[in-house]
Amino acid sequence: MKILSLNCGSSSLKYSVFDAEKNRQSASGIVERIGIDGSFINYEVLGKDKITVNHACPTHKEAIKLVIYTLLNKETGVIKDLSEISGVGHRVVHGGENFVKSVIIDRETLEKFRELSSLAPLHNPPNVLGIEAAMEVLPNVKHMAIMDTAWHQTMPHSSYMYALPYKWYEKYGIRRYGFHGTSFLYVAKRAAVLLGKDPFKTNLIIAHIGNGASINAVKNGLSYDTSMGFTPLEGLIMGTRAGDHDPAIPLYVMQKENLSAREIDSVLNKKSGILGITEKFTDRRDVEIAAGKGDAKSALAIEMEGYRIKKYIGAYSSAIGGADAVVFTAGVGEKGPIVREKALEGLEFMGLKIDRKKNELSKTRNAETEISATDSKVKVFVIPTDEERVFVEDVMGLLKGSYDVHTNFSYSFQKSSYRNEIRELAFKQELAKKPELDAILARVPAVK
């Protein structure tokens, strides 16, 4: 049994192949610049060097065909025939209140995803395009939707309701939904392993910081509150999204500049955040370089982003009655020591203290690290997320009929013996060049 996972963005397609018989991921990669000149595929097979091939991909259909061709290729492939693929898992960002767990896709569910596109206009449309393209290219296998909002369905009413007319919730479903659910699920389960605790007796604050960013309060292993809301716009400062702001501001600017609702929505989602502050950058690496050269707006963006994360850490610590650990994940969270330091500095009064040297060293996506100081009462972990692994195990559970919500379903990565061979091999190569990384590895506690 082989499972293909697909994560379609507006101009990208992440994919991986999981071999159930060998219990390991055998290949992974990404097609980038879909619909843009210069599209290409990055492809990595367990134990082999990464391959990059340029190939025109005007739509997601061509991108999926390119992935299939690469997987079948005699020299680079990991499958001999499409019949080896037992199921396909797709990321779907917004499931509204309709989906509390992953589901098998049919025409009815696909239509529901289209209806929800207005709630996640940057994500659901490419998700649907990718599903339709994959179903056309792979018509003889079951396709499953892995819901980004499902993890947050455990939030209490007091967390997910807004102080707006209640009839808006009843008529339009206006409430906090939260996103990055598959990432939070994986990281929460792994953090419990590193703490040596029952996942449902563990309190965590998880910061998923990438171009899109959100933070999650986890109380007794369940999502209790999260920073993204009705749409992915609310909460932390992001690459191009504004995050929290006075909701009267867009109304004021609409009147002053005669902007339509569509135009102001575009500004808030695509021209704000880090880009809005710096007026140049969305990539935090570019921001840090510019700040180092004296660019005042870039320096301001760094301070603002760190401060926003810090405020949420403090608020969520209070909300859940204290955290066992604060965890950083996703691109910036995994490789951005400056953002992490800014987010945690001054929180020693809460028992939160990082080791600056360990924090600076932690820039890998191939190993779980601990960056808290030895006398920190609250652990600080950097855990590389693995949404594709969640996809795979949900798909396998659906195929076998054993799948259920995460409170009733056990994942392999919840076990202390869990290993990711591709990451282990990649980390060995990193370790050979930088042996000091061994000192920051997060160790799984010995079973008593």
155-208 pLDDT, tens per residue?
999 999 999 999 999 998 899 999 999 999 999 999 999 999 999 999 999 999
Residues involved in catalysis: 148
In the chain, pLDDT over 90 holds for what percent of residues? 69
| pLDDT band of 267, cuts 50, 70, 90 | very high
61-111 pLDDT, tens per residue?
899 899 999 999 888 789 998 889 999 999 888 888 888 899 999 989 888
Nearest alpha-carbon partner for 235 in 171, 316, 300: 316
Could you give the CA distance from residue 288 to residue 298 in angstroms, rounded to a whole number? 7
21-73 pLDDT, tens per residue?
887 888 889 998 888 888 999 888 877 778 899 999 998 889 989 999 999 98
Segment 125-130 long-range contacts (CB within 8 Å, at least 24 positions apart): 125/10, 126/8, 126/9, 126/10, 126/60, 127/8, 127/90, 127/91, 127/92, 127/93, 129/8, 129/59, 129/60, 130/6, 130/8, 130/13, 130/60, 130/64, 130/90
- According to DSSP, the residues that pair with 51 across neighbouring strands are 43
**pLDDT attached to residue 448:** 56
Look up residue 374 and give its DSSP letter.
T
CB 380 within 8 A of CB 371: yes
**Average pLDDT value over all residues in the chain:** 92
**pLDDT attached to residue 188:** 98
306 alpha-carbon distance from chain centroid:
19
Q: Quick one: average pLDDT of 216-231?
A: 97
Domains, the chain: 2-147 (3.30.420.40), 197-384 (3.30.420.40)
Q: What is the sign, positive or negative, of the torsion defined by CA atoms of 413, 318, 312, 226? A: positive
Nearest alpha-carbon partner for 11 in 65, 52, 59, 66: 59
Could you give the CA distance from residue 14 to residue 388 in angstroms, rounded to a whole number? 9
- Give the residue, 1 or 229, on which the prediction is more confident: 229
CB 366 within 8 A of CB 423: yes
CB 298 within 8 A of CB 278: yes
| pLDDT band of 251, cuts 50, 70, 90 | very high
Q: Quick one: average pLDDT of 217-238?
A: 96
What's the Cα-to-Cα distance from 107 to each of 9, 111, 128, 179, 447, rounded to whole Å? 21, 6, 11, 24, 47
Gyration radius (Cα) of the chain, Å: 21
**pLDDT attached to residue 447:** 64
Strands 142-147, 103-104: pairing kind: antiparallel
Q: Quick one: average pLDDT of 138-157?
A: 93
Other CB atoms within a 10 A radius of the CB of residue 256 amount to: 8
Prediction pTM value: 0.91
276-328 pLDDT, tens per residue?
999 999 889 999 999 999 999 999 999 999 999 999 999 999 999 999 999 99
